[in-house]
Structure 1
Amino acid sequence: MLAHKNAPAHTFRKDGIFYFRRRVPTDLSQHYTSRQIAFSLRTRSAAAAATRATRAAQQLDEHWYHLRVKDRDIPGKHLLRMQQSAPLPSGVIQPAAIDGASVKLSEAVAIYLRLKGSNRPVTFRRAAERSCGYVIDICGDKDLLSYTKADATRFRDALIKRELAGSSITRIFGTIRSVINFAASETGVTLTNPFTGIYYDRQLGVKGRATLPSDVIKVVQHDCVKLDDDPRWLVALVSDTGLRLAEAAGLQLGDINVEAEIPHVVVREHPWRRLKTSTSAREVPLVGASLWAAKRLLAKVSDSSFAFPRYNRSGKTNANSASAALNKWLKPMVPERCTMHSFRHSMRDRLRAVECPADIVDQIGGWQTDGIGHGYGRGYPLTVLLKWMKAVEQRGI
């Protein structure tokens, strides 16, 4: 990020491209999830950047004026239609649609978060607010019944213009559909969701995570043993179990059992770390580097109930912190686009290489297996899971 002595107001330059940046006023900070607003002006021209930045600044000033007026204590304010951002009193039901009106999208987000957002991670709230915030920025904060297919396609075109990957567009549309459908159901509104069935290239700009070759995994595991500290124990634990990083980082010592006939780790939901899906709860045998890491954890961690205290200091498992630190350490050793999550992809390939049945692979990794029948029963015992994981270890894959 480079300073530019002749840069227009509210701009900075990075790699030759001008960006807009403006700090959110302190008295309006409650309306934002960040302390500043920044985005690309998509130009290398200082003159064009000045024009675009001035226009953006004027739009923000107008918007902030309306926010301040709305927040001001004015006569009759209690009669205004307010966003239901605060919890309603017990027993009060959100009113149904009256005379063809429903609720605005901003109100729909508040309903969605109030009823579905409790005990959900901060990312749940952020996804709903950001995704619907994009719609409001592009199409306006309309009554749900007022949005049209033309709004949805214009919104899609704006996301593509921002060069978002197809996978990101899919997530955004999925969140928007969920918010609208839920709020409509809660308020008794019947509508056809215009954000359903919008076409775009879902593979646009998508770069799949690469898997880690067996020789690279061995090098990483060797360095983990050599350094022998808690971040490396986390890497090693993930490397031969295929656990998600958050699953491993949020473990308690009591979730690790190396004294059992089959040493294993129990993946279960905790108040500080939710599981991604219902099938994520499972027991995974410990072999190879993962068994070594589990033994080191039980031998060395004595002042906490957490297996990895450094990532559990705030009441929530900080998997993002773990990911950033470990990916930085891994980067010189692994192929391009490989990350900590690549161990999980690699585990699936390693199990395929020994011809492990797909439903056993799914159980080891906590993946959802298609088909109603797979939801019955308790799944395969640890002895069966161990057989295939031992096959991977013995083959040196």
Structure 2
Amino acid sequence: MRRSAAPKPHKREGIWYLVRRVPKEFAAFDRRCLVRISTGVAVADDPRGVRARDAVQSLGAGLEAYWRRLREGQSAEAGLRFEAARKRARSFGLAYRTNEELAAGPLDELMARIKLLLDKKSIEDAQDVSAVMGGEKRPAVRLSGLIKEFETIEQQNLLAMSPNQIKKWRNPKKRAVANLVGVIGDKEIASLTRDDAIAFREWWQKRIVEDGLDIGTANKDIGHVSKMLRVVDLTHQLKLEPVFRNLRLSGAVPGQRAAFTAEFIQEKILAEGALDGLNDEARHLIYVIADTGLRLSEAANLTTETIHLDREIPHVRVRPNGRRLKTGHSARDIPLVGGALAAIKLHPDGFPRYRDKAASLSALVNKVLASKELLPTSEHSLYSLRHTFEDRLTAVEAPEKVIASLMGHKWIRPKYGAGPSLAQKREWLQKIAFTPPGRM
């Protein structure tokens, strides 16, 4: 709902009142044209309306909350009725059509549906008639309810995610919808127009020019909203116009992820005392990532079940283990050498402080590295250790298949057999292993 001017108190029979006209977006749920609510403050006791203004603002906020609850409750009930009718229509072998859609369509289809009800002897069954003849309107989903609706539809994709992964999945969508609502208001998705979409695009263009924001962020917002609308439209057969199609902004430059030099890592980051000030788990995770190339989340989520120090070749296994891996190729076994082996020996059960909290690990380590001038440029970060790992393997001319296997990347050829063995991978890792500081 668009922000309106703060309501002012009105005098009525010696009492200050809140007087509000029901906004158009709530008119279907509250049939009153004008709402009057007493503040209980007498004009004689508050002639300038100072106390009454505070009371009116509080009553106004409560009234708006009431309207929203009313809308959400009725919308939810209508949505359930619609879904029941749609499923019932399928049981008749029909695609659901509202009665307005049937009336606007071919007469033959309308007559065929009536004949079906007669043949099935369902003409007296109100639910069957509603399903076949389109008695329920399509659900009115508002932008404020779009994420919830999308999440309900996509729930099977969330089952494998950890709580933190779900949060990361949800947050950019929440940001995109909040930005859109801030530009055009909390409209029903069925009433969105191309003008609304263009207004959102122009709003982002202005922010990019005036505030120096990233084009990629704007395109992500547009992409998230467009995808959610497309999925909800497909599921509920809303027949929405693709108003966000082809609105992505041009000029986005792919981010260049920097890598440290091997010498910088060994001589600066792994120098004795260089990481003092970091807690043990964070410091030792740096050693693990540097010598395994693990993604931050993969290293932070190692557990007793995925750490194998007692094997002939000590190694860690990257597996879902309560969370979804980034890609299907991410599952892999990585031998432990150098600083990674030394660090894992100190943490045979993993790093519980940062389990499912890779973002916290990244924020802390990057802050400390920056304060100690251990980030050569603004493009460098903790994640740069992974890029250095790949560069180092390339420098010693490791086979591409070995590099892909260690990085968790897709191999360019069809996969046959088990891939490089632990012994083969350890052979190449030993060529690039760092020497950890004497005082771990």
Please state which band the TM-score falls in when normalised by the shorter chain: 0.5 to 0.7
Q: Which residue of 2 aligns with 1:165?
A: 214
Q: Which residue of 2 aligns with 1:238?
A: 289
Please report how far the alpha carbon of residue 84 of structure 1 lies from its aligned counterpart in structure 2 after TM superposition. 9.3
The 1:230/1:79 distance shift into structure 2, 3 A limit, reads closer
Q: Which residue of 2 aligns with 1:180?
A: 229
Please report how far the alpha carbon of residue 279 of structure 1 lies from its aligned counterpart in structure 2 after TM superposition. 2.1
Q: Secondary structure at the match of 1:208?
A: coil
Q: Which residue of 2 aligns with 1:247?
A: 298
Please report how far the alpha carbon of residue 147 of structure 1 lies from its aligned counterpart in structure 2 after TM superposition. 3.2
147, 155, 158: which one aligns with 1:109: 147
Aligned residue identity for 2:66: V
Q: Secondary structure at the match of 1:222?
A: coil
Unpaired runs of 5+ residues, structure 2, are: 1-56, 88-95, 102-137, 436-440
Q: Which residue of 2 aligns with 1:47?
A: none
Q: Which residue of 1 aligns with 2:353?
A: 310
Q: Within the alignment, does 1:330 sit opposite 2:372 as a pair?
A: no
313, 319, 339: which one aligns with 2:358: 319
Q: Within the alignment, does 1:197 sit opposite 2:246 as a pair?
A: yes
325, 337, 343: which one aligns with 2:385: 343
8 Å Cα contact 1:109/1:128 also seen in 2: yes
Aligned residue identity for 1:393: A
Q: Counterparts of 1:393 and 1:207 in 2: how far apart (Å)?
A: 28
Aligned residue identity for 1:210: A
Alignment TM-score, normalising by the size of structure 2: 0.61
Q: Secondary structure at the match of 2:174?
A: helix
Please report how far the alpha carbon of residue 82 of structure 1 lies from its aligned counterpart in structure 2 after TM superposition. 4.4
8 Å Cα contact 2:339/2:434 also seen in 1: no
Q: Counterparts of 1:295 and 1:363 in 2: how far apart (Å)?
A: 24
Deviates further, 283-292 or 144-153: 144-153
Please report how far the alpha carbon of residue 309 of structure 1 lies from its aligned counterpart in structure 2 after TM superposition. 2.2
323, 330, 338: which one aligns with 1:288: 338
Q: Within the alignment, does 1:217 sit opposite 2:265 as a pair?
A: yes
8 Å Cα contact 2:319/2:331 also seen in 1: yes
Deviates further, 183-192 or 281-290: 183-192
Q: Which residue of 1 aligns with 2:50?
A: none
The 1:83/1:322 distance shift into structure 2, 3 A limit, reads farther
Please report how far the alpha carbon of residue 378 of structure 1 lies from its aligned counterpart in structure 2 after TM superposition. 4.3
Q: Secondary structure at the match of 2:316?
A: strand
Q: Which residue of 2 aligns with 1:278?
A: 328
Q: Which residue of 2 aligns with 1:80?
A: 74
Q: Secondary structure at the match of 2:334?
A: strand
8 Å Cα contact 1:97/1:189 also seen in 2: no
Alignment map for 1:38-53 (pairs within 5 Å): none
The 1:123/1:147 distance shift into structure 2, 3 A limit, reads same
Please report how far the alpha carbon of residue 351 of structure 1 lies from its aligned counterpart in structure 2 after TM superposition. 2.0
The 1:169/1:79 distance shift into structure 2, 3 A limit, reads closer
The 1:224/1:232 distance shift into structure 2, 3 A limit, reads farther
8 Å Cα contact 1:83/1:107 also seen in 2: no
Please report how far the alpha carbon of residue 359 of structure 1 lies from its aligned counterpart in structure 2 after TM superposition. 4.2
Please report how far the alpha carbon of residue 125 of structure 1 lies from its aligned counterpart in structure 2 after TM superposition. 2.2
The 1:247/1:356 distance shift into structure 2, 3 A limit, reads same
Q: Counterparts of 1:197 and 1:359 in 2: how far apart (Å)?
A: 38
The 1:252/1:65 distance shift into structure 2, 3 A limit, reads same
Please report how far the alpha carbon of residue 103 of structure 1 lies from its aligned counterpart in structure 2 after TM superposition. 4.0
The 1:384/1:158 distance shift into structure 2, 3 A limit, reads farther
Q: Counterparts of 1:279 and 1:202 in 2: how far apart (Å)?
A: 31
The 1:140/1:216 distance shift into structure 2, 3 A limit, reads same
Q: Counterparts of 2:430 and 2:78 in 1: how far apart (Å)?
A: 55
Q: Which residue of 2 aligns with 1:386?
A: 426
8 Å Cα contact 1:211/1:346 also seen in 2: yes
Q: Counterparts of 2:229 and 2:367 in 1: how far apart (Å)?
A: 39
Q: Counterparts of 1:84 and 1:241 in 2: how far apart (Å)?
A: 53
The 1:369/1:249 distance shift into structure 2, 3 A limit, reads same
8 Å Cα contact 2:75/2:140 also seen in 1: no
Aligned residue identity for 1:323: S
Count of equivalent residues = 316
Root-mean-square deviation (CA, aligned residues, Å) is: 3.7
Aligned residue identity for 2:280: D
Q: Which residue of 1 aligns with 2:200?
A: 155
After superposition, the C-alpha distances for 1:334-386 in whole angstroms (9 at most, x for unaligned) are: 31222111111212222222233444323212234567x35x65443323333
Q: Secondary structure at the match of 1:252?
A: coil
313, 338, 356: which one aligns with 1:262: 313
Give the fraction of aligned pairs with identical amino acids, expressed as a percent.
28
Deviates further, 211-220 or 149-158: 149-158
The 1:146/1:380 distance shift into structure 2, 3 A limit, reads farther
After superposition, the C-alpha distances for 1:43-88 in whole angstroms (9 at most, x for unaligned) are: xxxxxxxxxxxxxxxxx99995664232467xxx798334999xx7
Q: Counterparts of 1:103 and 1:382 in 2: how far apart (Å)?
A: 56
Aligned residue identity for 2:284: W
Please report how far the alpha carbon of residue 243 of structure 1 lies from its aligned counterpart in structure 2 after TM superposition. 0.9
Q: Secondary structure at the match of 1:254?
A: coil
The 1:310/1:296 distance shift into structure 2, 3 A limit, reads same
The 1:67/1:380 distance shift into structure 2, 3 A limit, reads farther
Q: Counterparts of 1:171 and 1:83 in 2: how far apart (Å)?
A: 32
The 1:225/1:78 distance shift into structure 2, 3 A limit, reads closer
127, 132, 139: which one aligns with 2:177: 132
Aligned residue identity for 2:364: A
Please report how far the alpha carbon of residue 112 of structure 1 lies from its aligned counterpart in structure 2 after TM superposition. 1.0
Q: Secondary structure at the match of 2:299?
A: helix
